[in-house]
Amino acid sequence: MQEKLKQALSGPVEALLDGANSDTWSSIRNLLKRETLSAVSGFSAALVGFDMDEETRQKMLKSLEDYARGLVEGKAREEVGRVLIRMKDRYESSAISKLTFTLSFELYFEAFTLTFENRFTMLFSHDSDSMPRVWTGKEDIRAITKTARSAVRHDYEYYFLNYFVWLFV
């Protein structure tokens, strides 16, 4: 089952990362959901004939989902490695440009990280109308955190991808 999942995800994910655009991450998420659902439902149907408790069955299905997610994350890491190699090659011509590139790259990502930390803090501490949140103790902190993280993750993916596209266009 893992081999089928690997075949279904590896090539398409690599192709999506090679032709990166603003829809790349949502396309990868949709592909991951679709192929994982297909694999999990097929594996679940195959497990019906075996005598096993529900907890073991769920662990096996969760393991398959984790495998798929790990596969996609691995492909993304490979692509980042390739991008960094291209960036290094591109700016390796002189010591001054190397130093300038390294400093600008580090400063950019430091500013990038601070921007998204500030964005999370703002989303977490303000309600949906951008009013400062009044904490009464009855709030669902887990849901508020999840919403803020999700919004920041979406922004982060968009800006990170656009930064790398900008570097190589």
Residues 82 and 164 in one domain: no
Same domain as 3, residue 79: yes
Tens of pLDDT, residue by residue over 41-88, are 988 888 888 888 888 889 999 998 999 888 888 887 777 766 666 655
Are 50 and 69 found together in one domain? yes
pLDDT in tens, 112-138: 666 667 778 888 888 888 889 888 988
* Among 90, 120, 145, residue at a domain's last position: 90
> pTM to 2 decimals?
0.52
Q: What is the extent of the structural domain holding 145? A: 94-169
Q: Please tell me the distance from the alpha carbon of residue 144 to that of residue 51, in angstroms, as a whole number.
A: 41
For the chain, what is the domain count? 2
Residue ending a domain, among 90, 105, 132, is 90
